[in-house]
Structures are given as structure tokens and as C-alpha cells.
Amino acid sequence: MDLHGKQVLLTGATGGIGQASAIELDRAGANLTILGRCPEKLEALEEKLSGKHKRLIADLNDQTQSRAVLQHCQQHGLDVLINAVGVMDFHIFDSQDPAAIERMVHTNLLSPMLLCQHLLPCLMSRPKSAIVNIGSIFGSIGHPGFTAYCATKFGLRGFTEALQRELADTPVSVSYLAPRATRTDLNSSAVTELNLALGNTTDEPEQVAAELIKILEGKHRHRYMGWPESLYVRVNGLLPGLVHDALTRKLPVIRQHAPRRDIET
């Protein structure tokens, strides 16, 4: 797809990956609607863009505000929906705050699903349109310390795969981008320290944004970033026992870095 002049809705625009993606989409000539919850951050992002774009302040976990997004797209048109919003909470599952689990399920999975459903009529009305859901390598590999987060990203990957097949005979292409560890504010200091302790490579948001552009240009349908992480995805699918053994050997390091919440009994 030639992005020049296309109407693009970018959720999670003020996050690390969202900001880098907005800059790349602006360079490609897209007409952006940058969506986020913080007016100040959206204004600061717009100042980094060369073109004149639209700002939309909304919390997609609020269905009333989500309907306002639909009205905006009905008014201005929509060629591309990019779901880049996401939250993460690194905790050992048995002591994780239930509110944090609910927030991840709503933000990472339920809200993107419902937004896709609401906006499909707008996308179907175009000769050619696209949805890109930004997931995670942890959407294919269950990782200790990220149990609930993995569940939401596994769900997003499954949703994307099924929707892609359901819309195969329509003008709407559906794609999935799975970054590995990326240097953003999504990572707590504990996550950063864990990645260092495990020797995990951390990408820059600009690398993820570059892969997003490649997907929109039609060069990939699904993209799993990083080596050896992308290899682990394949191995986990064929021989999950190997990945299980490799990760469980790291449990002492993971438990050492994972925060724990005191639970009253």
C-alpha cells in the first residue's frame, strides 16, 4: 500500500513505539489521527511531525469514548487502523494485583478487538485498507513473570490470525507485528534489570516502526522481530519442551527481579 494521502488511525500514539511509528508514517505522507489519553503528550508528538494531522483524546477502555473514535472515522474516513496501545505489569502471577490483570486484558486485548469491530464498516468501504495489530514475541512464548501479559498477547495474536482469514475475501488486509524487548516506558526498572541479567537484546522503537512500514507496504503479513527470539517462536510451536526447559532454568533469575505484592490472608 502506498501510504501517501491515506487516512491512518494510530492508537497508543504517545507510547515509545507509537511515537516512532507516527514519525515514520508522517514521513511516508500519511494523514494521521494520533490517539491517546494525554493531551499534553499528543501535542508534544504533533510538534515532531511535519504534516498537519489530527489529535484524538480518548481512553479506548471507555466505550463512550470509543464510540467517539468511530464517529471521527466516519466523518474523516479510514484506510489504516494500527493498534499500538498496550500496558505491561511484571509480577509473579500468584501475587499480582487483580486490577493490573484486568487492565492488561482490557487494554491489550478487549479494546483492540472491539475497536476493530466498530471500525470494520469504515475500512470495508475503501477499495483497499489495512489493520495492523502490534503484539509481542510474548504472544507466542509463555514467559515466567509475564503470565497475564502473555495471555493478552496470545489472545491478540489468535484474534489477528482468525480475523485475517475471516476477511481474506474483502478489501481489508490484517497483519500482526511482534516486537521483542523494546526500549520504551512500558518497561519498569525491574524489567530493564531482568533483560540485562538474562542478556536479552533490546531494540529501539524506531526499529519496530520500520518493520511496521514494511508490513503496510505489503512485504510481510506476520513479522516476529529479533534473533534468536524469532527462532524461539518456531521452536516453541514445534518442540515446546525445549523452550520450556530453557526458560525454567532461568526461573531463579526471574524470581530475583520480579516484584512481589504482599497479600493479606
Say which CATH number the domain at 64 has. Answer: 3.40.50.720
pLDDT at 262 (0 to 100): 57
pTM attached to this predicted model: 0.90
Give domain status of residue 263, yes or no.
Answer: no
- Give 236's contacts (C-beta < 8 A, 6+ positions apart): 140, 141, 242, 243
Domain extent for 185: 7-257
- Domains of the chain: total: 1
Cβ atoms of 223 and 214 closer than 8 Å: yes
State whether residue 3 is helix, strand or coil.
coil
Query: What pLDDT, on a 0 to 100 scale, did the predictor assign at position 261?
Result: 66
Q: What is the CA 178 to chain-centroid distance, rounded?
A: 8
Within-domain flag for 265: no
pLDDT in 10s for each residue of the chain, 265 residues: 899 999 999 999 999 999 999 999 999 999 999 999 999 999 999 999 987 899 999 999 988 888 889 999 999 999 999 999 999 999 999 999 999 999 999 999 999 999 999 999 999 999 999 999 999 999 998 898 899 999 999 999 999 999 999 999 999 999 999 998 888 787 788 888 887 887 778 889 999 999 999 999 986 678 888 788 777 777 877 877 887 788 888 888 888 787 776 554 3
Q: How far apart are CA 216 and CA 82, in angstroms?
A: 10
pLDDT at 20: 95
264 in a structural domain = no
Residue 1 lies in a domain: no
Q: Is residue 2 part of a domain?
A: no
Q: What is the pLDDT of residue 263?
A: 54
Q: What are phi and psi of 217, to 5 degrees?
A: -80, -5
> Does residue 121 have a cis peptide bond before it, meaning omega lies within 30 degrees of 0?
no
In this predicted structure, what is the pLDDT of residue 162? 94
Tell me, yes or no, whether 191 lies in a domain. Answer: yes
Q: Of 65, 49, 48, give the one whose Cα is nearest residue 57.
A: 65
149 is annotated as an active-site residue: yes
Is residue 177 a part of any domain in this protein? Answer: yes
The whole-angstrom separation of Cα 14 and Cα 46 is: 10
Among 149, 176, 224, 232, the active-site one is 149
Task: Give the pLDDT confidence score for residue 149 in this predicted structure.
Answer: 95
**Is position 12 within any domain?**
yes
